[in-house]
Amino acid sequence: MAAMETEAAPLTLESLPTDPLLLILSFLDYRDLINCCYVSRRLSQLSSHDPLWRRHCKKYWLISEEEKTQKNQCWKSLFIDTYSDVGRYIDHYAAIKKAWDDLKKYLEPRCPRMVLSLKEGAREEDLDAVEAQIGCKLPDDYRCSYRIHNGQKLVVPGLLGSMALSNHYRSEDLLDVDTAAGGFQQRQGLKYCLPLTFCIHTGLSQYIAVEAAEGRNKNEVFYQCPDQMARNPAAIDMFIIGATFTDWFTSYVNNVVSGGFPIIRDQIFSRYVHDPECVATTGDITVSVSTSFLPELSSVHPPHYFFTYRIRIEMSKDALPEKACQLDSRYWRITNAKGDVEEVQGPGVVGEFPIISPGRVYEYTSCTTFSTTSGYMEGYYTFHFLYFKDKIFNVAIPRFHMACPTFRVSIARLEMGPDEYEENDSGDMDESDEEDEEERRRRVFDVPIRRRRCSRLF
Amino acid sequence: MPSVKAQSSDGEIPEADVEVAKQPVTIKTMVEDLRMDDAGGNDLVPLPNVNAAILKQVIPRCTHHKDDPPPPEDDENKEKRTDCVSVWDQELLKVGQGTLFELILAANYLDMKGLLDVTCKTVANRIKGKTPEELPKTFNIKNDFTEEEEARVRKENQWCGEK
């Protein structure tokens, strides 16, 4: 801390030459810069030196040179105008705007329909009206995002990704704020929960807790999972997929734009997460796996965790033509978290016997369930060469892990008496008497993160 | 080891190893232009704008940082941080404002980007977080606004919600 020194020859901040003084000011945040404006004429003038404001415009509002030229304004005035509009969100704006910009840039060439379905931003008044309607404040980062885009029209494909299996289809739309308000939950088990997404096919929503209640932290984003054994409709378990709206949205966008989710027929097949290390090569054939957890087909009570996996089999384009081969059968070794092993063997894959030749890619989807929160699979395919039908060989399938997201057991269940729920016969709920009362109350099952696992779900 | 003598504004002549002395670009330019480094070491580099006391602080810093890579070009897109002042420099700069400003002037005159950067960051850190009332007191600055000017400044900056 500088003492209040008086120097013999008074060299003050004010009397420094312009260049070093501007350099000092260039290290200041916008608030400190404005504070300097109040001190003296010279500081006021220098604090308003326009190039100083360029950095702040870029950092907080992501304003580009092109935009500035288009708007034909100076940097400081641009900063102030934007602040007057969305200054309340200054701490969130850059992260959320960047996520939207990255997402749209990535989707425009690949899923143009989805980009066209995005609605333009809501106004402050609209958001205030929703808060009045639901009787709760909306999180600032949520508001910030909805100022940029007010969700999407309820169409397919959904911005938050699709999932397709033979008899099951889900596509999650980002709800606009009014529709979301209509779905605001007041009932026991989902108090203060606002839907973020909706799927027309499954009726499934991801929710955000706008207030802390019933064991939920404020701003958590989760999938609901009704406790089927509790005989109490308020008993709703939750798969947590984000600590805040920003966390949820930016992680999703990062997964999309980094190519983590395959785009198939202009839909984002989200939730298929591929661990780049989950690959096995045998000769010229490479097998890679992506997995996905389906909360809508899973439950904690009873413990039933549903995963799909998508397998990609490809042969190097440089392989010799005589390496062409056909898949005859598969062998799987499935292990759950308790160490129980199941072996499965059978002809073909999903009823097919694909032919793999140089440069050819074959992909298919299948599914598995575990009675534990995680498990892994590995195995091999047996092929025969097309031109030497008697020569058979095995192609390894890399071990891939599946684990459900962190979930939280409903408060309703924790508060129930023993006669109010069916006995649950799975071993992974540790109901020993030595268990801490505190632990029992807040039973968050943190699924261990394995470094090499194939599925960072959600 | 070849050395160069610098003559400060108050006549003193601190001596410095020529490589160290060439860090300040001003001196480097003088030394090379006037071919002083291959002379007998008796020529003096005049520095009328820098007093001895300051020069005596600048030289050890040059010595300490002589093997540092040249500071990067100012990248408009990089975040400007003030928390990356080395511990050694922080110690050097635990001085009163007056000395700090003299160091800034010296660094500016001698064209020493590294020293200029750390001294300015240090001052910036002393500005950060202070209110418009605290700033004039800390830095001994007189408010020279007229009433109308002051009102205008307040109005122009009320968007920021302060004051």
Specify whether A77 is located in the same domain as A100: no
- How far, in Å, CA of A269 to CA of A312, rounded? 15
Q: Is residue B21 part of a domain?
A: yes
Specify whether A145 is located in the same domain as A286: no
- How far, in Å, CA of B155 to CA of A177, rounded? 35
Domain membership of residue A24 as a residue range = 18-87
pLDDT value of position B19 = 64
Side chain identity, residue B112:
M
Specify whether A59 is located in the same domain as A197: no
Is the model's pLDDT at A252 over the cut of 50? yes
Q: Is residue A437 part of a domain?
A: no
pLDDT value of position B14 = 64
Last residue of a domain, one of A39, A56, A87: A87
pLDDT value of position A258 = 84
Q: What residues in A contact B128, CB-CB < 8 Å?
A: 28-29, 32
Query: How large is the average pLDDT for residues A71-90?
Result: 94
Specify whether A80 is located in the same domain as A100: no
CB-based contact B117 A23, cutoff 8 Å: yes
CB-based contact A40 B127, cutoff 8 Å: no
> How many CB atoms are located within 10 Å of the residue A318 CB?
8
B106 and B116 Cβ atoms separated by less than 8 Å: no
> How many CB atoms are located within 10 Å of the residue B25 CB?
12
CB-based contact B153 A38, cutoff 8 Å: yes
Last residue of a domain, one of A387, A406, A425: A406
Q: Is residue B151 part of a domain?
A: no
pLDDT value of position A431 = 43
Which of A10, A27, A32 lies closest to B80 in CB terms? Answer: A27
pLDDT value of position A451 = 28
What is the CATH classification number for the domain harbouring A59?
A: 1.20.1280
Q: Which residues of chain B have pLDDT under 70?
A: 1-7, 11-23, 26-49, 52, 59, 63, 66-67, 70-79, 92, 162-163
Q: How many domains does chain B have?
A: 1
Q: Is residue B146 part of a domain?
A: no
**Cα distance from B41 to chain A (closest Cα, Å)?**
33
Q: Is residue A261 part of a domain?
A: no
ipTM of model: 0.78
Last residue of a domain, one of A87, A114, A142: A87
Which is higher by pLDDT, A203 or A451?
A: A203
- Chain position carrying tokens 């030196």: A49
Which of A11, A12, A32 lies closest to B127 in CB terms? Answer: A32
Query: How large is the average pLDDT for residues A144-151?
Result: 97
- How far, in Å, CA of B22 to CA of B8, rounded? 16
pLDDT value of position B15 = 67
Q: pTM of the entire structure?
A: 0.78
Q: Is residue B42 part of a domain?
A: yes
- How far, in Å, CA of A23 to CA of B121, rounded? 8
Over the range A88-102, which residues count as b (16 or more CB within 10 Å of their CB) and which as e? ebbebbbbbbebbeb
Q: Is residue A13 part of a domain?
A: no
- How far, in Å, CA of B106 to CA of B93, rounded? 14
Specify whether A100 is located in the same domain as A244: yes
Q: What residues in A contact B115, CB-CB < 8 Å?
A: none
A254 at B interface, C-beta within 8 A: no
B interface mutation test: which of A35, A47, A53 has the most B CBs within 10 A?
A: A35
> How many CB atoms are located within 10 Å of the residue A168 CB?
15
DSSP string, chain B: --EEEEE-TTS---EEEHHHHTSSHHHHHHHHHTTGGGS-S--EEE-TTS-HHHHHHHHHHHHHTTTSPPPPP--TTS---SS---HHHHHHT-S-HHHHHHHHHHHHHHT-HHHHHHHHHHHHHHHTT--TTHHHHHHT------HHHHHHHHHHTGGG---
B interface mutation test: which of A6, A29, A34 has the most B CBs within 10 A?
A: A34
Q: Is residue A441 part of a domain?
A: no
The Cβ-side half-sphere exposure at A37, using a 13 Å CA radius, reads 23
What is the CATH classification number for the domain harbouring A122?
A: 3.40.1580.10
CB-based contact B129 A32, cutoff 8 Å: yes
CB-based contact B135 A38, cutoff 8 Å: yes
- How far, in Å, CA of B163 to CA of B151, rounded? 12
Query: How large is the average pLDDT for residues A125-138?
Result: 96
pLDDT value of position A6 = 43
CB-based contact A38 B154, cutoff 8 Å: yes
pLDDT value of position A331 = 96
Q: Is residue B82 part of a domain?
A: yes
What is the CATH classification number for the domain harbouring B37?
A: 3.30.710.10
- Own/partner pairs, A67-76, CB within 8 angstroms, 24+ separation: A74/A50, A75/A50, A75/A51, A76/A48, A76/A50
CB-based contact A3 B96, cutoff 8 Å: yes
pLDDT value of position B75 = 65
Which is higher by pLDDT, A167 or A421?
A: A167
Specify whether A292 is located in the same domain as A220: no
Q: What residues in B contact A2, CB-CB < 8 Å?
A: 96-97, 126, 138-139
Which is higher by pLDDT, A30 or A226?
A: A30
What is the CATH classification number for the domain harbouring A292?
A: 2.60.40.1470
Specify whether A239 is located in the same domain as A99: yes
A13 at B interface, C-beta within 8 A: yes
Specify whether A191 is located in the same domain as A147: yes
Residue of B nearest to A25 (CA): B124
Residue of B nearest to A45 (CA): B153
Is the model's pLDDT at A1 over the cut of 80? no
**Cα distance from A202 to chain B (closest Cα, Å)?**
46
* Average pLDDT value over all residues in chain A: 85
Specify whether A75 is located in the same domain as A99: no
CB-based contact B82 A27, cutoff 8 Å: yes
Q: What residues in B contact A31, CB-CB < 8 Å?
A: 160, 162
Which of A13, A31, A83 lies closest to B139 in CB terms? Answer: A13
Which of A 41-70 lie inside 8 A of B, CB atoms? 41, 43-44, 54-55, 58-59
A interface mutation test: which of B157, B158, B162, B163 has the most A CBs within 10 A?
A: B157
CB-based contact A35 B104, cutoff 8 Å: no
Query: How large is the average pLDDT for residues A162-170?
Result: 79
Over the range A432-456, which residues count as b (16 or more CB within 10 Å of their CB) and which as e? eeeeeeeeeeebebeeeeeeebbbb
A interface mutation test: which of B84, B95, B140, B143 has the most A CBs within 10 A?
A: B140
**Cα distance from A53 to chain B (closest Cα, Å)?**
11
Which of A 16-45 lie inside 8 A of B, CB atoms? 16-17, 19-20, 23-32, 34-41, 43-44
Which of A4, A5, A16 lies closest to B104 in CB terms? Answer: A16
Q: How many domains does chain A have?
A: 3
Q: Is residue A457 part of a domain?
A: no
Specify whether A230 is located in the same domain as A339: no
pLDDT value of position A270 = 67
Residue of A nearest to B159 (CA): A84
Specify whether A108 is located in the same domain as A208: yes
pLDDT, tens digit, 9 for 90 and up, residues A407-458: 888 887 777 766 555 544 433 344 444 344 444 333 333 333 332 223 322 2
Q: What residues in B contact A55, CB-CB < 8 Å?
A: 76, 80
Pairing of strands A168-171, A341-347: unpaired
pLDDT tier at A192 (50, 70, 90 boundaries)? Answer: very high
- How far, in Å, CA of A135 to CA of A129, rounded? 10
CB-based contact A39 B132, cutoff 8 Å: yes
Q: Is residue B122 part of a domain?
A: yes
Nearest to residue B7, comparing CAs of B43, B41, B46, B59? Answer: B46
Query: How large is the average pLDDT for residues A253-272?
Result: 78
Domain membership of residue B27 as a residue range = 3-66+78-128
CB-based contact A4 B153, cutoff 8 Å: no
CB-based contact B131 A35, cutoff 8 Å: yes
Specify whether A73 is located in the same domain as A184: no
Q: Is residue A163 part of a domain?
A: yes
pLDDT, tens digit, 9 for 90 and up, residues A354-382: 999 999 999 988 889 999 999 999 999 99
Q: Is residue B32 part of a domain?
A: yes
Q: Is residue A455 part of a domain?
A: no
pLDDT value of position A204 = 85
Pairing of strands A273-282, A285-293: antiparallel
Q: Is residue A366 part of a domain?
A: yes
Q: Is residue B152 part of a domain?
A: no
